[in-house]
Amino acid sequence: MSKSSKSDPAAPQEPNGIVEAPMSRRRLLAGAGTALTSVGLMQVLAACGDSSTPAATTAAKATGGGGGGALGDQLRGLLKTPTGEAAGAGLEVPLGAIIQLTGPSQIYGESAQRGMNLAIEHIKAAGGPTFKLNALDDKSADPTAGAAAARQLGIAGTPICISADVGAVGSILPGIAQYKVFTIDAGGGVSGLTGKPFFYGSRPHWPIDIFAGVAQFLPTKLPDAKRVSIVTYATGDALVKDLDKGVTAALKANGLEQVGLQAVTFGLTDYSPVLAKLQQQKPDAIFMGLSGPDAANFLKQYASSGLTAQAIGSDYFTSLATKGGSSYDKFWFAFDYFDAASPPTKWADLFVAEYKKAYDDEDPDFFVADYYETTFVMWELLRRIVKSGGDVKSGSAYVTALEADPTVASLFSEQKGVPAGTMKFDPASHGLAQRAMGIYAANGASPELLATFNIGGKVTPVS
């Protein structure tokens, strides 16, 4: 999930970067082009804090936060992991990463590296293997860079990889398939790239998994809200199919009506044409598929537009909300947000405490948490391979291990206070079948949980 500010070069552009597509499948296809772009998939979300520290400096920074026997004992107790050979002790395994080391999304790559580095230290402390991280640059979702990085990892014999930007907009897929590099995108999930060989996603599928829950919740909180407009990125055919199959159906099932859809380019700074169309559409609620600074820019301009519809997004960062001031006061957001102030599991409690030790008392954001968690998924699969007598340096072995049992340990849980939660992959789509999520009122920079939900599951309002 991360975000690129680059627009789709294949998409015909209208003035101000807007591709207008209200209610029309044909117009959206023509206006949005056919390229699948990571950020518009929203769950290709991204950044942490305001840090501009270069990724190389971050990688060199202390990442253990503690380490030693006490930390290892805590992790083994929470995750019920073995010791010795069964844990992969003494093994050294290459771990690739294709993330944003340069470009406009560089801070997202910093978050990813922090999460992976901390996990590598924790895995070693718990008696596991040494993962040798080789982080390569996708240059903020540049397809050429992504493809080159995948080939580089493959030629080097790297068995496993964690990617971002939905596999740098799909460009890594040929390389990881050719060289059998088992890859999990921890930033945006699989989005429209479902069922691709060796490519999996550890994030919910945007927009279906997110806004289907919001559509179910909205009538319980705002019973008079019936008309919904959508503002999202120009992501082409994949977006249209998702809207047709998921969001539009969810709206109808809950007595809501979609009254417009506007698809915009990435990095748009002037949303006045978008706001003008929203005023014409007269929505009661707006579903925003915008991320990072784009979402912040939209909300700032929306707050002074005179529109009163409830804005509901799928991205939130404390740093942006702090800068956004009152524009975030009435904003809602929904996704697998990691609430560091109220961690969902005991494992998450430990993760937050160790991260704050390593990074000057800073809270980890959801992107850090996702890459930390996904690195632990790699260790869980490695342990299964060791138990079966397989080759931990074979990407195919990780595919077999995951598909034999798609349920893995998670930092996230709908049930508070458990040692660890679980998430479940979908062997068909290679995305997730289960993932704890929440709907929050931003309240500026003080999020309040309004409801919990899971993929395809019942929304439970917080009393």
Span 2-6, average pLDDT: 34
Q: What is the pLDDT of residue 161?
A: 98
Query: In the prediction, which pLDDT does 317 show?
Result: 86
Rounded alpha-carbon distances, angstroms, from residue 218 to 211, 262, 278: 10, 21, 19
Give percent of the chain with pLDDT exceeding 90.
70
pLDDT band for position 237 (50/70/90)?
low
| Residue 67: pLDDT over 70 | no
Q: What is the pLDDT of residues 11-29, one digit of tens each?
A: 323 334 443 333 222 222 2
Residue 405 has pLDDT above 70, yes or no: yes
Tell whether the model's pLDDT for residue 65 goes beyond 60.
no
pLDDT at residue 32 greater than cutoff 80: no
- 348-391 pLDDT, tens digit per residue, is 999 999 999 999 999 999 999 999 999 999 999 999 999 999 99
Walk me through the domains of the chain, giving residue ranges and CATH numbers: 15-40+207-340+438-461 (3.40.50.2300), 55-205+342-434 (3.40.50.2300)
Most confident range (mean pLDDT) of 185-194, 266-275, 318-327, 378-387 is: 378-387
pLDDT(180) > 70:
yes
At 277-319, the pLDDT tens digits run: 999 999 999 999 888 888 999 999 999 999 999 999 998 988 8
Mapping DSSP onto H, E and C, the string for the chain reads CCCCCCCCCCCCCCHHHEEECCCCHHHHHHHHCCCCCCHHHCCCCCCCCCCCCCHHHHHHCCCCCCCHHHHHHHHHHHHCCCCHHHHCCCCEEEEEEEECCCCCCHHHHHHHHHHHHHHHHHHHHCCCCEEEEEEEECCCCCHHHHHHHHHHHHHCCCCEEEECHHHHHHCCHHHHHHHCCEEEECCCCCCCCCCCCCEEECCCCCCHHHHHHHHHHHHHHCCCCCEEEEEEECCCHHHHHHHHHHHHHHHHHCCCEEEEEEEECCCCCCCHHHHHHHHHHCCCEEEEECCHHHHHHHHHHHHCCCCCCEEEECCCCHHHHHHHHHHHCCCEEEECCCCCCCCCEHHHHHHHHHHHHHCCCCCCCHHHHHHHHHHHHHHHHHHHHHHHCCCCCCHHHHHHHHHHCCEEEECCCCCCCECCEEEEECCCCCCEEECCEEEEECCCCCCEEEEEECCCCCCEECC
Amino acid, single-letter form, for residue 73: D
Whether the pLDDT of residue 6 is over 80: the answer is no
The listed range with the strongest mean pLDDT (107-111, 330-334, 457-461) is: 330-334
pLDDT of residue 96: 98
In single-letter form, the type of residue at position 209 comes to D
pLDDT at 14 (0 to 100): 34
Q: Residue 242's pLDDT is what?
A: 67
Average pLDDT, integer, range 312-337: 93
Quick check: 342 pLDDT over 60?
A: yes
Asked if residue 34 has pLDDT above 90, the reply is no
Tens-place pLDDT, residues 198-216:
999 999 987 788 989 999 9
Weakest-pLDDT range from 2-11, 214-223, 254-263, 352-361:
2-11
Report whether pLDDT(265) > 90: no
Query: Is the pLDDT assigned to residue 52 strictly greater than 70?
Result: no
Give the least confident one: 229-243, 292-306, 418-432: 229-243
More confident site: 286 or 46 = 286
